[in-house]
Amino acid sequence: MTEPPIETTLERLKQMKLTGMARALQASQAATADQHLSADELVEALVTAEWDERTNRRQSRFIKNARFRYRAMVEEISFDGQREVFRNQILRLAACHFITKRENVLITGSTGLGKSYIASAIGHQACILGYKVLYEHSNKLFARLKMAKADGSYLRELRKMERQDLLIIDDFGIQPLDSQSRAILMEIIEDRHGKTSTMFTAQAPVEVWHEVIGEQTIADAILDRIIHDAHRLELVGDSLRKRRMAKGKKTDDTTN
């Protein structure tokens, strides 16, 4: 029985959506004679190529679905000046063991310290490691879920968040929660508690979150689930935005 021509094999691989294998087979055919692989080596190369192709596609899909605020990467986080003291803690979080352990992360500090960027970078790394991540800005999240209650899509939205390995709630506590937002947050945290990880960024220190949430009994229940065994990254130092602006101004002055 004669073997099918290479073009037929390539077409069959593409129809089966084995695009990684197809590209690797094309590459092997383009190699010179002294680079030809044995049958075992060729099979290994084809399988590895398909594995890498599917992994890259999954990572790209996870990153797209996460809807990060910034296109941030851990390698691009600046550790200049006072931020050097946070390097080890941030890099430990970027290993994402806290997700495996279903633990939470609380990143706090005044405006301009890069909380959202750091959270997005850790989330991006989680996607690369194969975790499903969703980024949400707190005010927009509560506003959208209030509308979802009105149009009947609320439970679907909650289920979507519950399926995420890591939910990032950014800029939490910019303004006190009203009764509806408080109830929504309680449902989100209750669904995720002990099953998945949630990351919060906030300007307000954790010690005043009771006042932000309001309603003592509900605040106690929410914070008990959020804070227990949570990793806390409390950023301090000068605003990065102000430092960049000052640096830019200094550069302009030297050119005048």
Q: Pick the closest to residue 188 from 151, 141, 150, 237 (CA basis).
A: 141
Higher pLDDT, 24 or 229: 229
Where do you find CATH 3.40.50.300 in the chain?
Answer: 67-242
Does residue 236 register a pLDDT over 50?
yes
Mean pLDDT of all residues in 92-98: 96
Highest mean pLDDT among 62-66, 96-100, 232-236: 96-100
pLDDT of residue 255 exceeding 60, the answer is: no
Please tell me the number of Cα atoms within 13 Å of 141 on its side-chain side. 26
Q: Which residue has the higher pLDDT, 8 or 42?
A: 8
β partners of residue 200: 106, 169
Q: Which two tokens stand for residue 195?
A: 């099953």
**Alpha carbons 150 and 36: distance in angstroms, whole number:** 63
Q: Is the pLDDT of residue 147 over 70?
A: yes
Query: Band of the pLDDT at 183, cuts 50, 70, 90?
Result: very high
The answer to whether the pTM exceeds 0.85 is no
Token pair in block for residue 177: 């929660």
Helix (H) or strand (E) holding 243: helix 240-255
Averaged pLDDT score across all residues of the chain: 84
pLDDT top residue among 40 and 175: 175
CATH fold for the domain made of 67-242: Rossmann fold (3.40.50)
- Does the pLDDT value for residue 161 go beyond 80? yes
